[in-house]
Amino acid sequence: MLLIIERINMITLEDFKKVDLRVGTIMEASVNKGAKKKAYKLKIDFGPLGIKKSSAQITDLYSPEDLIGKQIIAVVNFKPIHIAEVTSEVLVLGVVTNKGVVLLNLDSKVENGTKIS
């Protein structure tokens, strides 16, 4: 049996505390037509943090209609980057599978903007 060990870059607890993970609800979703890789333009409500935009490569397993009202987890303190038609302000988190990205989500609904710890 061959054991493959993936090399992991270790960080400190202080490094992790710099990442601001929050819960938000997707309010709008449409195709980001100018993106090099298939992606959706999202508007996400983060409660007290306001509405944030993102470009997310989650087109394999989700339609825009599937995403409306879905609570997601995102990194909200990245420097915004321009991706085709969108200035992406947050990074929506998911698991990359051979079928596409599966979004991280919650078992129960919580308030938008709730901090993940």
- Residue 3: predicted pLDDT: 63
Q: What is the pLDDT of residues 7-46, one digit of tens each?
A: 778 889 999 999 999 999 999 999 999 999 999 999 999 9
Q: What is the pLDDT of residues 103-115, one digit of tens each?
A: 998 999 999 999 9
Token duo for residue 17:
């505390």
Rounded to the nearest 5 degrees, what angle is found at the Cα of 84, between the Cα atoms of 62 and 104? Answer: 30
Token duo for residue 69:
């009202």
CATH class, 19-103 region: mainly beta
Site of tokens 């100018």: 34
Question: In angstroms, what CA-CA distances link 64 with 23, 49, 57, 70?
Answer: 19, 23, 12, 11
